[in-house]
A = this chain, B = another copy of it.
Amino acid sequence: MPSISLKGHHMPESPVRKLVPFAENAKKRGIKVYHLNIGQPDIKTPQIALDAVKNNRIDVLAYSRSEGSEIYRKKIAMHYKKYHIQVTHDDILVTTGGSEALFFTLSSIADAGDEIIIPEPFYANYNSFSIASGVHIVPVTSKIDTNFDLPPISEFEQLISDKTKAILICNPGNPTGYLYTKEEIHALAQLAKKHDLFLIADEVYRDFIYDNTEHYSILRESELEEHAIMIDSVSKKYSMCGARIGCIVSRNNTFIATALKFAQARLSPPTYAQIASEAALDTPQEYFDQIIKEYSDRRNTLITELQKIPHVKVTQPKGAFYCIAELPICDADHFAQWLLEKYHYKHETVMVAPASGFYSNTAFGKYQVRIAYVLNKDSIIKAVTILKHALDEYRYIDHEKTTTSSVASCDIH
């Protein structure tokens, strides 16, 4: 058989996907599964966006411009003013989701062997995009014991080499919910300028900020015109994950022109989704007010309930809709599979995302899971109750005998 590529070998499987067959089997056995594992909100997409697609008048579903339609980009630029971000439509490249935005960005700034510094834990697909691009992630580890606070800037600086092309942050962060302060962004901006690196901020959760705090975009930093690249997406903001529309925003024209060449190779972003996304920009503020209140309540419920379980560590997320929880278990992959394969509490169980995939140093995530609070409060309470009972039972079983997992038996952490 002809051989597949080395990078194909090294591409990680989705940390959740390998659990999907176990979840499907559990359902076949009549077990209800609470999905705390995914970033797919249950929130309704704005009606104005849905209607725009239903009322479209297309008769030839043609390519759009590779950079996205000019009208849409002008509306995006106008929309950012609300966030004190001053850009023009020429600074915006519409992409097929935030994923493509990240991939074009990495491709435009880094060659195989180059390095990107990323605080970990980070969005699992940063690993995938890096491997696909041949780029090495150099992690700066933030720790649950210190609330996933940003490590000192000196830790970043120590890691800068002549291979370093960028620092990439996710603000607010998936999977930690960490929100960067203005001072932290400013310090990172100074560091990027000092060493002439790109500072990339994945801000797709910008609107999900709680406790009346404010998000501070890297694009608000003055004198960072050439260095700042912002990644955005309609997926979470408008509960439109299936649209596949995102964008790259940068005032660095050379960078945008380069990313455009990658965009031209894939011809255009999807047309229907651009119609929905353009209309979504007119979503009334009340829609967001309700959602933020809902997510804030869910977060409070989740954290309160998790803190009631002995030996569970969790931090208070300030944004996005995830938290990392450290559990009294030997191996999160093993535990997550066991929950689906062997466990139920009154015919219900939970699915969580093992956190090892969110680290470059996968061992750091061995006892941790990511929990998404994308379910309503009642479901969250039920799911955490199940988790509590499951942890009680998990401590006292002989793991080697009770699962089909390839994970060996291990001491409880």
Residues on A close to B: CB < 8 A?
Answer: 1-9, 11-14, 17, 40-45, 49-50, 53-56, 58-64, 66, 96-97, 99-100, 103, 107-112, 114, 125, 128-129, 132, 134, 165-166, 192, 196-198, 226-227, 239-244, 252, 254-255, 258-259, 261-262, 264-273, 276
Do A8 and B107 touch (CB < 8 A)? yes
Do B255 and A4 touch (CB < 8 A)? yes
Do A270 and B270 touch (CB < 8 A)? yes
Q: State A269–B58 Cα separation when bound (angstroms).
A: 20
A53's partner among B7, B12, B53 (CB-CB below 8 A) is B53
Do A4 and B272 touch (CB < 8 A)? no
Given contacts A11-B258, A54-B56, A109-B5, whether A61 and B129 have CB atoms under 8 Å apart is no
Q: Return the chain B residue nearest A17 by Cβ.
A: B264
Known: A9-B258, A270-B273. 8 other contacts (CB 8 A): A1-B196, A3-B109, A53-B53, A61-B240, A62-B242, A97-B267, A128-B262, A244-B271
Please give, as numbers and ranges, the residues of chain B lying within 8 Å of A55 by CB-CB distance: 54
Q: Return the chain B residue nearest A16 by Cβ.
A: B264
Please give, as numbers and ranges, the residues of chain B lying within 8 Å of A198 by CB-CB distance: 2
5 closest cross-chain pairs (CB), A and B: A242-B271, A128-B265, A272-B272, A11-B261, A8-B258
Do A132 and B262 touch (CB < 8 A)? yes
Do A5 and B114 touch (CB < 8 A)? yes
Given contacts A103-B266, A262-B132, whether A5 and B110 have CB atoms under 8 Å apart is yes
Q: Return the chain B residue nearest A273 by Cβ.
A: B270
Do A2 and B244 touch (CB < 8 A)? no
Please give, as numbers and ranges, the residues of chain B lying within 8 Å of A239 by CB-CB distance: 60-61
